[in-house]
Amino acid sequence: MYLGIDPGRQKFGWALAEENGVFCASGIVPADSLEVFVQALVESPEQLAQWRIEGEIPLGFRIRKVFCGDGTGHAAYLETLLAWQLDVELTRETNTTLEARDVYWKMHRPRGLRRLLPVSLLVPPRCIDDLAAYCILRRAVNG
């Protein structure tokens, strides 16, 4: 199982995917809870459910690799992840928020009059940092 992280000052997005890049689950966590999140990830992954927004968290998974975005405040994230002896790779995160919008609208097709508008004009009704994390992960896995 792979983990993608979209770091930020106030919050961070996370996403789990299979090794072939297939999406499993994602969520958003306050930045000041990073240590608690990583501890849950390593010691009892079922606790990630408290931050889950999309998908289902697989039972009994192990993280093989973490792909962390190279943007805002990534150094603190990198330090914490490495302290827990996780295999971490920094990944370019340029334009992942734009990619995340497309992912959101593929997961949640627009309905009503919104379906008539181009997806590029639509703004998701929630924060999509978790899906940006998935885009970071996907970018790393797919090259």
Q: Which domains does the chain have, with CATH numbers?
A: 2-142 (3.30.420.140)
**What are the phi and psi torsion angles at 141 (to 5°)?**
-70, -40
**What are the phi and psi torsion angles at 69 (to 5°)?**
-65, 150
Cα 108 to chain centroid distance, Å, stands at: 17
Q: Exposed/middle/buried for 44, CB within 10 Å: 0-12, 13-18, 19+?
A: exposed
User: What per-residue confidence (pLDDT) applies to 109?
Assistant: 92
Mean pLDDT score across all residues of the chain: 94
The 10s digit of each residue's pLDDT in 83-115 is: 999 999 999 999 999 999 999 999 999 988 888
The 10s digit of each residue's pLDDT in 40-71 is: 999 999 999 999 999 999 998 999 999 999 98
Rounded to an integer, the average pLDDT of 21-37 is: 97
pTM for the predicted model, two decimal places = 0.94
